[in-house]
Amino acid sequence: AGDASTSFPVFKTSDGSEVQLDFTEADDKAYLIDFWATWCGPCQGPMAHNQEMLEHHPEWEGKAEIVAVSFDDDRDAPQTRINE
């Protein structure tokens, strides 16, 4: 393990709710933080691969989570891509 992480700032999820992520030593879940944008072609492959990895490993349920952070200016664009 590494150094303790600070909290992520509050941000809005794809459904509009606000979330603040806190990472603590007591939280034994592994987080993959994926920075992406709909206009970034090279971002699409890893994003799909990471999701497939979670789907193909049901034993990771509750142990691993992907936090996808979009850099899109248009709020609807990421939601449209997620729904595809």
14 phi, psi to nearest 5 deg: -60, -25
pLDDT tens digits for 35-60?
888 888 898 888 888 889 988 999 98
Give dist(CA 71, CA 75) in Å, integer: 9
Mean of all residue pLDDT scores within the chain: 79
pLDDT computed for residue 77 by the predictor:
78
Please state, in angstroms and as integers, the Cα–Cα distance from residue 48 to each residue in 20, 25, 64, following that order.
24, 29, 16
pLDDT computed for residue 76 by the predictor:
79
Using alpha carbons, select from 44, 47, 52, 8 the residue that is nearest to residue 27.
8
The residue written with tokens 């879940």 in the block is: 29
pLDDT computed for residue 50 by the predictor:
87
